[in-house]
Amino acid sequence: MRWFAAFLFMIPAMPAMPALAAEMVPVAAVSSFAQSTMDGDLFRYRAVLVEVDDGADLYIFADKGDGMELFAHAPSIAWRGDMFGQEPRLEVAANTSLRVISENSSVGRDRWEQVLTIAYRDKRFVVAGYTYSHYDTLDPAATGKCDVNLLSGRGIQDGRTFRTSMTALPVDEWTMDTSPPGCSR
């Protein structure tokens, strides 16, 4: 009994344990994974897309030379449905940029794909590009595409060039409902 009382007395003096459990996700919730080496102040990054209610969260870990650390967390960055053809995924571009791809390529007549291009700029990961394309499975003439470089502000909507006022946002400020002005869905 004295041992138990001494233990209770020591609890406030013990260092706090990191809240790792709050950051853990079930393995089955991981929908996609990508990693790439880099040049500059980051040696490499690892991105993990995790399924959440009606969407996906993005976690980006980066290595500055002393191991991987959580660098960015973007809650609900991508839409996710419940069927095949509605699952978001990650890809690494040839220039080491990360692509977050969400789509509906399987249900209904309105099919679409959205690609977010994420780049490392000014010591942070930003959404540097946005591409949205759509088509109607019953009307071949009902198609569209918008492609915007958020670093330059230049875009193309259905063959017409335009400029957007939106600039590259930090990845953790982007959600599945964000889109550049001038890019109609």
**So where are the chain's domains?**
31-173
Grouping H, G, I as helix, E, B as strand and the rest as coil, residue 45 is strand
Q: What pTM, to 2 d.p., does this model score?
A: 0.84
Q: Which residue has the tokens 């976690």?
A: 59
**Cα(31)–Cα(49) distance, rounded to whole angstroms?**
6
Low-confidence spans in the chain with pLDDT less than 70: 1-23, 185
pLDDT for the residue numbered 185: 65
pLDDT for the residue numbered 25: 78
Q: Which residues contact 166 (CB under 8 A, 6 or more apart)?
A: 148, 150, 153, 180, 181
**Cα(106)–Cα(86) distance, rounded to whole angstroms?**
7
Of 103, 82, 100, nearest in space to 90 by CA: 100
**Cα(51)–Cα(30) distance, rounded to whole angstroms?**
6
pLDDT for the residue numbered 128: 98
Are the beta carbons of 63 and 34 closer than 8 angstroms? no
pLDDT for the residue numbered 82: 84
pLDDT for the residue numbered 19: 37
Q: Which residue has the tokens 């591409």?
A: 131
**Cα(26)–Cα(46) distance, rounded to whole angstroms?**
18
pLDDT for the residue numbered 14: 37
pLDDT for the residue numbered 23: 65
Residue 135 one-letter amino acid: Y
